[in-house]
Amino acid sequence: MPSFRPAFLPLTGIEPVFDGHFCDMPMNLSPFDATLPHDAQLTCRGLDVIRGEVVLCSDVDLTLNAGDICHLTGENGTGKTTLLHQLAGLLPIEQGEVLWQGQPMLPPQPVYIGHQVGIDSQLTVAQNLRFLLALYDVTPKADALAEALAWAGLAGFDDVACYQLSAGQTRRVGLARLWFAHVCPLWLLDEPLTALDGAMIQRLEARMTQYAAHGGTVLVTSHQTLQVANKRLDLTAFMV
């Protein structure tokens, strides 16, 4: 068993495998027919979280294995978003090291969904989703696209321009890519529960649990309670 610093606390009483009763919508496991490698591991050693020239957190240690869902917490300004940006390759690693499967490298092609979900308001819901999936070399068939939109609570919205959507619906368009993202070994999700209703939060948590049960790894920030996390990293303990 890996050892963790005191700020990195395992949670108890959470089943790691989705039992089919987490939400009111049947969840089809068929998109997870290819199980991810169970040796996938993300390790950060002595990592400094830096925004601009300001060191927000110092000497961060983190180990995530296949099947882990880690809730990244901390006060405002502790660098939660900045850390996700570093792991996604959007910001440089200036101090410390990041290892993927024991090799000094960033995770290959992680799914990153940030505060801004990357939606073009002038495109339709279906056009936006196809564009987002093209970034991962995924071309969805019509029935799979319909399944994804139904899961996101957007059934029948295919041809609706995104400027007509509410904030919650717009976020759902961005999250719908998770229906196809089982081929990526790491999800980096920044406040994905924002603007979602209770039913959609349950669907999203169920999806994360399914993904983890098939070998995926999730690092997620949220100011809300995350029911399905099996680990927690509080960046407040690493503030400078």
Q: Are 88 and 205 in a shared domain?
A: yes
What total of structural domains would you count in the chain?
A: 2
Q: Are 106 and 190 in a shared domain?
A: yes
Q: Are 231 and 140 in a shared domain?
A: no
Q: Are 142 and 179 in a shared domain?
A: yes
Q: Are 211 and 233 in a shared domain?
A: yes
In a domain, 78, yes or no: yes
Place of tokens 């961005």: 174
Q: In the chain, what percentage of residues exceed pLDDT 70?
A: 83
Structural domain boundaries enclosing 122: 116-183
Q: Are 56 and 92 in a shared domain?
A: yes
Q: Are 208 and 91 in a shared domain?
A: yes
Q: Whole-prediction pTM value?
A: 0.85
Q: What is the pLDDT of residues 89-134, one digit of tens each?
A: 999 999 999 999 999 999 988 999 998 888 999 999 999 999 999 9
Q: Are 177 and 92 in a shared domain?
A: no
Instruction: With cut-offs at 50, 70 and 90, classify the pLDDT of residue 135.
Output: confident
Q: Are 164 and 179 in a shared domain?
A: yes
Cα–Cα distances in Å, from 129 out to 31, 41, 88, 204?
16, 29, 20, 17
Q: What is the pLDDT of residues 40-63, one digit of tens each?
A: 689 999 999 999 999 999 999 999
In a domain, 26, yes or no: no
